[in-house]
Structure 1
């Protein structure tokens, strides 16, 4: 059952780039969130998307939002990806695809690739925008626009 606009983000846990435990309860209900699911570290589209979020990260922070990227890559892969591109935001490893399934992220490209979907949630954890597109760099302005409407 896919999450829809108006739904609350349910609690989930994962490992971050440093192998630390991440608990969504420490973020959901505390601040606005931009949670984006992407197919794979170090691929052209995913790198462009991550670098665009990096370049606008301060704009999200200034508006009181946190950015979280999620893919099925390992913590080690995320650590190298974040280090190589100086990514300041949280990357979570979802190797068992539990979080992807919890959100109901569809597969892209005829089911061949994990989907690329961005969710924006308000401070209470309610989803206010979902953007599903394989056009990697289109996610950042959409997410920023949604966050600005919350402020």
Structure 2
């Protein structure tokens, strides 16, 4: 069953680019978080999306949010991708696709892993779920939701 707006985000653990276990409970419920699932490191759309998150990262930080990118790529692939494009945010490896299943991220075009973004508020409640093959619109949508949260 897919996570939806209004759901509390369940805790999860995954390996980050330092090879360490990232525990979501250290962030979720403490500050807003933008979690985006993407198909694959170093592909044109995914690189554009990651670089757009990078280029807008200070806006996310100014809004009190952390950004987390997740794909099924290996930690080694993520390390190279993060270094090559100077990505300042967290990348997590979901090689066994457990996180994709936990969130209920659908595939696009039958077999390709889907591109889906979640905005989670400081209470750990999902405020936005956005699915689109367009890689850069995710950033605009997430920023708008965070701005709305900050006005409350």
For structure 1, list consecutive stretches of 5 or more residues without a partner in the other structure: none
Structure 1, residues 1-42: CA drift from partner, whole Å, max 9, x if none? 100100010010000011111000001001001000000000
**Structure 2 match to 1:8:** 8
**Structure 2 match to 1:82:** 82
For structure 2, list consecutive stretches of 5 or more residues without a partner in the other structure: none
**Structure 1 match to 2:26:** 26
Report the number of matched residues.
150
Indicate whether 1:128 and 2:117 are aligned: no
Q: How does 1:68-107 map to 2 (within 5 A)?
A: 68-107=68-107
**Structure 2 match to 1:65:** 65
TM-score calculated relative to the size of structure 2: 0.98
Deviation, 1:112, is 1.7
Query: How far apart, in 2, do the equivalents of 1:65 and 1:148 lie?
Result: 11
RMSD (Å), alpha carbons: 0.5
TM-score calculated relative to the size of structure 1: 0.98
Q: Report runs of 4+ in structure 1 exceeding 2 Å deviation.
A: none
